[in-house]
Chains A and B, each alone.
Chain A
Amino acid sequence: MVALNHGSQRIGPDELVVSLKDVPELSIIEVDHEQRFLRIGAGVSWDELLGAPVDTLVPCLTQAARTVGSHQIRTAGTIGGNIATASPAGDGVCALVALDAVAVLTSPEGQRRVSVEHVATGPKRSVLANDEFIESIEMPIVDGWQAYSKIGTRNAMVISVAGVAVVLSANSNSCRIALGSVGPTVILAEDASAFARDSIDWSTIEISADSLERIGELVQQAATPIDDHRSTAAYRSHSVGVLARRLIERGVQEMRNST
């Protein structure tokens, strides 16, 4: 709708656009505490993601929501819209990929589940069919630590120049690092995630400075950024490395302090 209103996208005479605004079924937030599982409707606004229960159950999604636009935009914009836009800069997408979230897609043919990581296939391109919409997003509630950091050219209300989400799981002793704005889609930094998992001493909850440096390097290697009007490829690579290193260090320290 934004693109249509802005005039950057036009629709043909025999095409229809259906607004999903005010569809109550899309505005649900369901928590299954037994299965450690959360379902968020695609129509849930950023503003709603800032508060309970999301802020305590999936804080990295709340942190991502906090970086999106202004209060007005956070009231109008939704998490489903963020995924469907298929931008590599999607803040919510980056957090959801680190959370290993799954999108529930609905069409007249029925429902299918696609990992959020694979909904976007390129900038502004996705697996969504013309008659298909995102109904909800399902994600695990992870015990451990998680966070989202984002770089922009100003201190608020800015499209991501680089974003990193980190989820550390205390139950499975694993790590997922997702990178935004450094490739055609949000990227799961698999080598860096695996290296982090292996190099964290999960019994003492510690990590060496050398390992942190290495994580930064691996993240930089995973990134395939471009130069554009928002920043340079070199700065994007550099900054996702720094952010990932800082987040892992922060996460390990805070997990240790909380035990």
Chain B
Amino acid sequence: MSDLGIRESSVEGGLGQSPLRPDGIAKSEGAYEFSSDLSADNMLIGKTLRSPHQHARIVSINTAPALAISGVHRIITADDVPGKPTYGLISSDQPVFAADVVRYIGEPIAAVVADDEEICARAIDAIEVTYEVLSALADARLAKDPSAPSIHPDGNVIREQNVITGDIGVVGDVIVEDHYSIGMQDQAFLGLESALAIPDEDGAGVECHVATQWLHEDLGQVAACLDLPESAVRLVLGGVGGAFGGREDLSLQVHVCLLALATGRPVKMHYSRSESFLGHVHRHPAEIWMRHHATSDGMLLKIEAEFVFDGGAYASTSSAVLVNAVTHAQGPYRCENAAVKGIAVRTNNLPCGAMRGFGVVQACFAHERQMDLLAQACGLDPLEIRRRNAMSTGDRLITGQVVESVAPVSEIIEGLSRMPFPEGAGDTEKHPYELPGGAGNTTRPDDVVRGIGYGLSIKNLMYSEAFDDYSTARCQLRNGIVTLKFATAEVGQGFITIAPQIARSTLGLEEVELEVIDTNVGSAGSTSASRQTWMSGGAVEAACLRVRELVYQHVATAEGTDPLVYTIDGTELVNTSTGGRRPMNEVVVGLEFDEEVEYRHRPTVPLDENGQGDCHTAFAFVGHRAVVDVDIELGLVRVVEISTVQDVGRALNPLSVTGQIEGGIAQGLGLALMEEIIQRDGRIMNPSFTDYLIPTIADMPPVIAELIEIPDPQAPMGAKGVGEPPTISSTPAVIAAIQDAMNTAYGSAPHLRRVPLQPSDVAKTVNVGLGD
């Protein structure tokens, strides 16, 4: 840890401390009200009819038999959408209800509203839809072919983006290349999609309580589809049980509002787990080719890469995900020459969009596997090849953008190299439950080989490419109490914990209250892109600073001096010219101020056709080391420990930072070893937590985390976002560790190049008699 003289606030519950989250106890006791727990008097239940076909023309829809069922109130289809028939985050290409064509299994066709869940289910079964089944385009590599049939009026190609820089003809002494693939990961948030819509008494508007990541984006899209002015639609944040990108797109928002307006009664919709897999976007499956050129001593000369991202049936954020992938192809390493190609295409698969790491996860898996190949080819240790190429502040990226953020990559590598190794290698007394296979009782210590692997990454923070990215916050001071208002979605990341910390430290006042999180204030932007501590944190700080300035002016007027002489130390107002001190809670008696601020980060620009331009706002860096025990013969893995060194700028709430690190690593480990939505002909084969596996406590190892706290001069309070980096390079670190164990066991083993890894991949590659 670095001691750079950061002033620890002496306000109770201020910055740098770890006050407990206000929702923590209720959540752990099961008393917290998630959006799925909401109810209202006179409430009806809504349910969605979804396409059973990957690609089909809708010939007819007959709702009459369903309407005849007692207890069914209304059934709505595309014909009942009064406003815009489509929605979407970047391009509005996704129908509220499919009108003529369905493009993936699970696409909404109609919605039923009835007295209860069971009647809804019967009505859904009773709706008669006649389809003319069309041939489906399920392979992204085929979909990008210009001769492929177009499956959407906007065409199959969502975006192509190349990054070309330097001398692309240069050839290295050492060249390594391979093909990599990443499976479709689900956000697997525990709180399922749900919303409660309550129509206004006069029927002219609606209030929607919903678990979302971005209230104002929902508001704009919902109002357009409802053909209502935004002032007639209010969105209120329902209790959110995790998001990870999967709540950035609309799911049931328009449907539930339409049903409430159609019936004049409160309507609730909530998805089951299997419906949830159909109801939100997923991490893009990707096929990646990379070729690295280096000098014989391992210095990177050139990176060549091709990315193919399967966007599924609708665009969602695919174009931005693609930009993140191609612009992060180099990883946190210096490289002057690059020829990177990328394309994101539509297919008749599940739509893909935002998920923690947002394109960088895919790029990082490939570049870190490549760095290990390069290390091997140059005869260098995996940390040494990374040390030699480590990026630092002031380096130029392959986009031409100069890294102005603090870039402590060398410090991260040094930190990792100093970490002690866990005990227990070759421990013959270990209980089988602690070994690979866990509760399955498969493995004994003699069956185990230990491996160690590393992963490093760079991640952009905030939105890119000229997006007008801002957050709004309001600070009111009255009766000595500070009240904050913002529309920042609390999805579990902890903003409702740090927002009061910011106010306490800025104003020297301990009593801070939060208003309801809804659209009765300006937008806070999305809770994504590791951006809310920086953006909404920046807005809260700025609003509090304005109030503080007004307090200084008030006191200065009363004391006949200059406002500039005042400062706050802990809970006291200090007159720096006299040394006089007064408790802030006495100073503010009778004062009332109310300030609202929109905070913007610095502008960014779109990439040009060669992928050049200052498209990103800022960057954060992290490194991971995984230690694994592998039962080589069976291909079973037990991750023993993950240690990490993360560049956080400044830890405003160290406990919260640790929580993000541990949770993010669990998600990265999940992608490495088990998490994948398996589709066959566009149908999900594992739409449940019985078969879509996420790590349990028996899979998640202890995490040893070291924070690098070098406050970033561009970041409010010096704090960088910490949410995404833990997920990104933990995945390749785990795979590299398994590769290391396989190499130890067998001298050399085939290069691992797909996640999630299956036991059969490890066992197959080392066992005779298992084919290929």
A45 at the interface (CB under 8 A from B): no
Known: A7-B272, A155-B696, A229-B686. A235 touches B763 (CB 8 A): yes
Query: Does A149 lie within 8 Å of B442, measured CB to CB?
Result: yes
In the complex, which residues of chain A have a beta carbon less than 8 angstroms from the beta carbon of B691? 159, 229-230
* Known contacts A150-B441, A229-B685, A242 near B634 by CB under 8 Å: yes
Q: Are B699 and A229 in contact (CB under 8 A)?
A: no
Contact digits for B606-646, partner A, Cβ 8 Å, 1 yes 0 no: 00000000000000000000000000011110100000000
Residue in A156, A231, A250 whose CB lies within 8 Å of B696 = A156
Task: Determine the distance from Cα of A250 to Cα of B767 in the docked complex, in whole angstroms.
Answer: 22
Q: Which of B199-207, B325-333, B371-379, B431-439 makes up part of the contact surface? A: B431-439
Q: Is residue B141 within 8 Å, beta carbon to beta carbon, of the partner chain?
A: no
B759 and A153 contact, CB distance less than 8 A: yes
Q: Any chain A CB within 8 A of the CB of B170? A: no
Whether A156 lies near B759 (C-beta < 8 A) is no
Query: Within 8 Å CB of B274, what residues of A?
Result: 6
Asked whether A66 lies within 8 Å of B439 as measured between CB atoms, the reply is yes
Report the interface size for chain B: residues with CB under 8 A from the other chain: 41
A228 — which chain B residues lie within 8 A by C-beta? Answer: 685
Whether a CB of chain B sits under 8 angstroms from the CB of A215 is no
A151 to B637, CA, bound (A): 11
Judging by beta carbons under 8 Å apart, are A234 and B771 in contact?
yes
Partner of A151, one of B442, B688, B690, B696: B442
Q: Which residues of B contact A152 (CB under 8 A)?
A: 440
A78 on the interface (CB 8 Å rule)?
no
Contacts known (A151-B440, A238-B767, A242-B633); A161 close to B759, Cβ less than 8 A: yes
CB neighbours (8 Å) of A70 from chain B are: 696
Docked complex: A219-259 residues within 8 A CB-CB of B: 228-232, 234-235, 238-239, 242-243, 246, 250
- Is B444 part of the contact surface with A, judged by Cβ < 8 Å? yes
Question: Smallest CB–CB gap between A50 and chain B, Å?
Answer: 11
Residues of A contacting B635 with CB < 8 Å? 235
Is the Cβ of A156 less than 8 Å from the Cβ of B698?
Answer: yes
Q: Which residues in B have their C-beta under 8 angstroms from that of A246?
A: 442, 444, 447
Query: Nearest chain-A residue to B447 (Cβ)?
Result: A246
Once the chains are docked, how many angstroms separate the CA of A155 from the CA of B628? 13
B550: Cβ under 8 A from any A Cβ: no
**Cα-based distance from A159 to B293 in the complex (angstroms):** 44
Of the candidates B673, B697, B770, the one whose C-beta lies within 8 Å of that of A238 is: B770
The CA-CA distance from A156 to B432 in the complex, in Å, is 12
Assess whether B444 is in contact with A234, with CB atoms less than 8 Å apart.
no
Q: Mask for A151-180, Cβ within 8 A of B = 1, else 0?
A: 111111111010000000000000000000
The CA of A70 and the CA of B689, in the complex, are separated in Å by 12
Given A7-B272, A67-B440, answer yes or no on A151-B767 (Cβ-Cβ < 8 Å): no
A150 touches B440 (CB 8 A): yes
Other-chain contact of A231, B636, B760, B769 (Cβ < 8 Å):
B760
Report if A239-B634 is in contact (Cβ < 8 Å); known contacts: A7-B121, A156-B698, A159-B691. Answer: yes
Q: Which residues of A contact B272 (CB under 8 A)?
A: 7
Complex contact A153–B686 (CB within 8 A): no
Q: Known contacts being A229-B686, A230-B691, A234-B770, is A154 close to B441, with CB within 8 Å?
A: no
A148: interface (CB < 8 Å): yes
Given A7-B272, A153-B759, A242-B633, A235:B440 Cβ within 8 A = no
Interface assignment of B693: CB less than 8 Å from any CB of chain A:
yes
Q: Which of B437, B697, B771 has the most CB of A within 10 A?
A: B437
Chain A residues within 8 Å of B760, by CB: 231-232, 234-235
CB distance from A8 to the nearest CB of B (A): 9
Contact of A147 with B by CB under 8 A = yes
- CB-based contact A231/B758 at 8 Å: yes
**Residues of chain A within 8 A of B380, CB atoms compared:** none
Q: Determine the distance from Cα of A155 to Cα of B121 in the docked complex, in whole angstroms.
A: 36
Partner of B437, one of A6, A7, A151: A151
Find out whether the CB atom of B770 lies under 8 angstroms from the CB atom of A235.
Answer: yes
A-B contact pairs, 11 of them (CB 8 A): A7-B121, A151-B636, A156-B439, A156-B697, A159-B690, A228-B685, A229-B685, A234-B771, A235-B758, A235-B759, A243-B442
Q: Which 7 A-B pairs have the closest CB atoms?
A: A155-B438, A235-B760, A229-B685, A156-B698, A155-B698, A150-B440, A156-B439
